[in-house]
């Protein structure tokens, strides 16, 4: 009976994770359509999609595969094979991102304030998605995983490393776009807004999702 209940809980959590990935994908797609810059984690895939045959989604999958490889190289014997679940999660997220980009392609903001409105919607959706992913509690996104891996092998604190990681991604995106396109692509004022606000939204959502974790995901009250 205990095993059956645990399996049901695990299924609910994985389904909730898929929902969270779709919400995040919608947020990324809205940011792209706003054309004010993507979030730091999406800046490199977006830049790559502008001068290679890769879509934003497939570039995201490739980038996350690199993140997983970095974790393995850094942690070596300390690497937990369970973390390989990051790969299927990245694949699902990549395809959901491409689907979301197609889904919101009709959104074409003309005025600057409209761009900002769509950008803020995208930021909110990414923040909500991140909070839902954390609440699901079944897999770590590869981007977060590589930051945690670096923190395990260095004395750097997570917060400091996360900021360094985001800045590094933005610098890479800027460098790639300037080298291959001659102008910045995917990095604008919206990127700064995303870096500042996504975490704030996620933290506020964490408390709101506590009842979801207790009642829906853990099956509190189930017989």
Give pLDDT tens digits for 79-105: 888 888 899 999 999 999 999 999 999
Kindly report the pTM of this predicted structure: 0.88
Taking each helix axis as running N to C, give the angle between helix 2-34 and helix 189-208, from 0 to 180 degrees, rounded to the nearest 10: 150
Q: Crossing angle, helix 142-153 and helix 56-75, to 10 degrees?
A: 20
How much is the pLDDT for 1?
Answer: 39
pLDDT of residue 47: 95
Q: What is the pLDDT of residue 135?
A: 84
Closest alpha carbon to 197 in 112, 125, 144, 134: 125
In sequence order, what are the residues at sequence separation of 6 or more whose Cβ sits closer than 8 angstroms to the Cβ of residue 198? 39, 123, 126, 127, 130
pLDDT in tens, 123-165: 999 999 988 888 888 888 898 889 989 998 888 888 888 889 9
Q: Say whether pLDDT at 205 is over 90.
A: no
* Cβ–Cβ < 8 Å for 104, 29: yes
Judged against a pLDDT cut of 60, whether residue 185 lies above it is answered with: yes
């Amino acid at each position: 009976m205990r095993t059956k209940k645990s399996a049901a809980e695990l299924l609910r959590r994985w389904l909730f994770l898929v929902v969270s990935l779709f919400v995040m994908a919608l947020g990324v797609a809205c940011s792209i359509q706003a054309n004010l810059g993507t979030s730091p984690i999406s800046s490199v895939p977006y830049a790559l999609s502008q001068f290679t045959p890769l879509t934003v989604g497939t570039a995201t999958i490739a980038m996350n595969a690199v993140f997983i490889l970095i974790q393995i190289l850094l942690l070596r014997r300390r690497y937990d094979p369970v973390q390989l679940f990051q790969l299927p999660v990245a694949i699902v997220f990549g395809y959901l991102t491409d689907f979301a980009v197609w889904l919101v392609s009709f959104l074409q903001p003309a005025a600057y304030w409209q761009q900002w409105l769509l950008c803020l919607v995208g930021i909110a959706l990414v923040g909500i998605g991140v909070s839902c992913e954390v609440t699901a509690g079944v897999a770590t996104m590869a981007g977060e995983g590589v930051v945690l891996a670096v923190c395990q092998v260095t004395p750097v604190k997570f917060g400091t490393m996360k900021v360094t990681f985001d800045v590094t991604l933005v610098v890479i995106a800027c460098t790639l776009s300037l080298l291959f396109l001659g102008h910045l692509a995917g990095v604008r004022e919206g990127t700064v807004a995303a870096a500042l606000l996504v975490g704030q939204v996620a933290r506020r959502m964490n408390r709101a999702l506590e009842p979801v974790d207790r009642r829906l995901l853990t099956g509190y009250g189930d017989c």
